[in-house]
Structure 1
Amino acid sequence: MQKAAHVSDITDTVDPVFPQTTNSQIYDSFRDNSDLLVLAVVDTCGRVLGLIERHSFNLKMASEYGRALFGNKSVTTMMDTCPLTVEAETPLRDFMQATLAERASELLRGFIVTRDGAYAGVGTTLSILKAMNDDLQDSLLQQREMVSDLIRLSAESERHQSFLNTIIDNIPAMVLVKDAHSRVKLINPAGEDMLGVKRSDVVGKTSHDIFPAEQADTFTRSDRRVLASGEAVMIEEEAIYNGVRQRTVQLKKTVLRGPDGAPDSILTLGIDLTEQKAAEARIAQLAHYDPLTGLGNRTLYTHEIEQALSRVQRHGHHLALHCLDLDRFKTVNDSFGHLAGDALLRQVGERLRLCVRKGDFIARMGGDEFAIIQNIERPEDARCLAERVIEVMKSPFDINGIRLEAGVSVGIALAPEDAADANNLLSRADLALYRVKSEGRNGWCFYHAEMDAVVQQRLEMEHELRTALSEQQFQLHFQPLLNLDSGEVVSFEALLRWHHPHRGMVSPGEFIPVAEDSGLIGPIGDWVLREACRQAAQWPTPWRIAVNISPLQFRDGSLPRLVKDALKASGLDPRRLELEITESVLLADEKHNLKILNTVRDMGVRIAMDDFGTGYSSLSYLRAFPFDKIKIDQSFVRDLPHDQNALSIIRAISDMAEALGVHITAEGVETEAQMEALKAMNCREAQGYLIGRPAAAIEAYAAVKVA
């Protein structure tokens, strides 16, 4: 509803009458329109001449006498010639106040509204009363709305306060509010837990009323500090909280000001950082220390060696870097399990700690590799530490009641004599370690410059091996295997030979380790397998062909596919192919490699265990996999027929193989006496120089028969 503000808002736009209008015509208009209360009389220019008010007009015209006397006369004879007149834009409240005070009776008769002096309409007491009623209703409505707003605002305020209280009570950080005199005004549940207090016990009290004097003094000082500065203050402190134990907390204190700008309260937000700090310490520990041994890890080693070398350069210090590698650790790990291997590494770490002096640094670099950074005055100090480490490691380790031996090899490089930077120093200590391991392990060695030449030679050989593979410098030689019952050649073993264009024939013992270290054994082994199958398929007699497989050829699981492709390309009957492996294949990853062997055997290919009896677990692997053949290592055959121990071992192997239904071949047969001894022990097959040396051609064996 729109409130009437001006006279125009209550004006009735009734058409005026003119002076020539008769009273009878006016009478008829009033009679026909009961709502018509006032008429204005105007001239042709719209100027107001007078006003006709219905009630007084009808009193005169009601009787026949009145109508007869005035009916035909002009309306000007009965009009009020001085009516109440008001401009349309006059504020209604001003008009009513002035008129009621000075011309109330005229207001009751009605009034004429003009706009710029010309007639605009009429107004009546009824329209004024209606406007007053509307104004009253509007005021009442406003009052009701104001009351509703107050009720709504009150409820909203309560909701906001409840919402704010819920947030404060559930914030996982302390919220503490004190007044300017350090009296507690508010504390949330997290604050109660942190301080070990109850809200009901502390509100209205100061720190000295609540806490021991020393702790209260600490809190009061921090409150005064923030009041003095007027700015937010961050504090991290360690104190006894909750009356239990020392905690690390972070506090943010802020001054809250009143309407006059003066400090009114102190807001303290507190977070308990104890667990976070402990977690950060654990993360730092994990980032820089080996979780198994507690020794520094490679990351911390990198930092320590850089710091140590910096001291070498600045102050002329000397240091020795020891690279350590456990001997036979892999055998322990594979034979007794990873838990035993982990226990061994922990005990090794403990023994190493006993060997070093304060200021020396030990790191586990990974696997069974360790490093020691030793501060020295002369090289003799490094030698003494290396010998001390080797001596300490000689004592057997007790792992869950099992006594295990694990020696250690140590390579030593000196700074600044051998290198002044971390990478070269580590590389040269590794070279010295490699020399120790290649010469029999369980010893120590200083780096010497000629070791770089050895590395260079290995790099050159690796390059030449790649060239040999691409330029077909490799050859296969074949050594026969003889059936001792029939005296006939039954199979050949394919042996790889490298005919270097400048150096002539290169020993397999020289290039095979390089091929394995460089990863070239994969493509070289693939070539050997394909070439052996190709040549065997062309032989005039269907002899079997045996091919040695490196443990590294099992890693990517592609061996079954390579065998299948070689057989398909050559057309060789799978039953004529025999793959020879050593037990190190099963030591590396028994489940994975057994799966590969079973897949190959399912093709019809025979599987033989080479060098039987030289490993740690040969007998256990005969149970794990149904080998078609085992080859007795030549170290047992060499001492026949005079060595009774060798005779007993071979006889036991022969009897066991016969019981298992496994064929056996004796390797390294070089004399008639050895062959006769093997026949006497029911050994059915032999291989060695007595029968035939490896050769590129096999035609000479087409009719070989040994009595």
Structure 2
Amino acid sequence: MGVPIMRDGQSLGAIVVQSYTEEAGFSSEDQGLLEFVASHILTALDRKRSTELLERSVEMRTQQLAAVNRALQQQVVERERAERLQAALFEIARLATEDIDSGEFHARVHRVVGRLLNADNFYIGLLSDDGDRLEFPYYVDTCHPRLTASRPLARGLSELVLRSREPLLGTPARIAELEAAGEIEYRQEQGAPSACWLGAPLLSGEQVIGLVAVQSYTNEDEFGAIDMELLTFVASQIAYAVQRRRATEFQQQAYTRLEERVAERTAELRREIRERERIQDRLRHQVMHDALTGLPNRDQLRLRLGQAMERTRETPARHSALLYLDVDRFKVINDSLGHLAGDDFLCEVARRLQSCVRQPDLVARLAGDEFAILIEDVALDAEGRPAAAIAVAERALEALTEPMEMAGCTLEPSASIGIAVTRPHQQHIDDLVRDADTALYRAKALGRKRWQLYDDSLQHTAVDQLTVEGELRLALKRDEIEPWFQPIVRLGDGAIVGHEALMRWRHPERGVLAPADFLRVAEDSGLVESMDWRLFKRAFLAAAAREDGTYLSINVAPRHLQRSDFTSRLLGLLERTGLAPDRLRIEVTEGSLLENPERVRGVLQRLLDAGVGVALDDFGTGYSSLSYLHSFPLRILKMDRTFLADLHRQGNSGPVIQAVVGLAHALGMDVVAEGVEIEEQRAALLELGCGFGQGFLFGRPAEFAEQAEPALPA
């Protein structure tokens, strides 16, 4: 009995059963059963065929993925090698331009090359100047460590590279071919032959100047085309470095020869210049000195006076003093003893005056018995008197009163001296000379043998001290003492960060007066402390009303810091006026720190703990001790205006300012420059690292209602 195996009406095969006995017979039920089995056999066959197809598909896809993976791995290896190669090439190119000696350059190139290929045996050969020898400025070889520094040219692989001007990859087969062709010759003294050799020429334009080579004495290391490409690039960089160093050496030799010629010519010119200067000095001395005494004359004095007055105008704190001296009764001496004795007398006076001064002070003879002494850089005391000039005047009077033997007579000379100090407002030399002359005649009028200091306050002050004192007492009652505010500006963008409160007196008749017009009287009368507290109160109220985030800076005199209740009184005033402590800065001077330093340190620390900042004012006018900057709780350093005097004229203050700013910043302090008057000073300060400033460039002191934003460039 047989039934077909069918799919979709198509016969794919058959299933058959049969019997060879008559007893067995098949029925229609058996046929139905066999048909059912045939359908299941077809299903089983289809499932087995699908499984085999899937297994073959998976195996094929696995093989494809393995191939892709191998390709990716190879790409990664190639990329990593390319990156190492690129890094090495960049490093070699950089080394070629570095300012290092040749030995260091060659050693570092060798290390870079050794990271990419086997460079245990590495050398650089350069042709000698005559082209007959090969010199080895760098040589490393494991088999021949004692190679001489140079050798004559032969017919080795190195010479073949030099002749062909092309890189050479010497595999064992290639070396054998070259030997057979007679291109190279192996010599026993060269040591063991190379199993693999790679060299590249050093080219300078069209000229070959040497080679670089690596080699191996075993078959384990073989070089390839990539290695040859790398070594060729290395050779180009070595050639560039060699030529650059040779050019530098040639240039240095040329410079040396030029300097020798210049030195010879300079020596000749110096001899000529010295002779010319000697003649000019003699003529200049004759023109600028008194023929009798040898002292500087009036012309030289006026020249130096002009320079001194210019310094005072540029830096108001730098004063000079002029002493105008007249010998008493010289006419009697000259008429009685004769002109020769009179000349000797004047020469002795000149000698004694010179003994009373120091360099660079100047003693000059003006005419007849008139002399002058210029003393530079004199400091003014608290009363505005030049102590150093007064000391010189007293020494001069004492020296001149010593008895003098002249023409058989014993003379007891004397003199009168007038002293005048340079002031910023003075424009003409004659003004200073006139002031000194006025003081001289005043000294004579008071009885001679004395000095007199010129005091222009007598000409400019319209009221006496008692009147001013009475008016100040009324001013306190009428609340005429008021704060005017000078802006403190961030130099970078011109933004106002704070204001310094300055004392002004709104006089009912004379208008607004600055401290110079009344402060001395206030101090002498004991009113100044009450005026300070009145100023503090009004300044705190005005600052509290401004909700702009700026801070207020006030000047605190040494007398306040010595008061035991100063801290509590100041903090109480802040609380009553509504000004936050962190918006207040107090400014103290170096003099304040010197009076009972431990007490002052405690006062400043308590204020700092409460939030009040502390600034060191007028830094540079006192001792300028750096110990203050770290031993006292200071947060701001205010440089005095004297630092800025010649800043825009390329003076010496720039490095000093830069050093002070750097030190302050290192200690965590802000720096405020005082006296910024012109744009050039602002720009120079900003370049030197100073962040803040105040001065007329940003606005003069005024009431808050009159304050305007400073006009600064963006």
For Structure 1 versus Structure 2, the TM-score category normalised by the shorter chain is 0.3 to 0.5
TM-score by length of 2: 0.36
TM-score by length of 1: 0.37
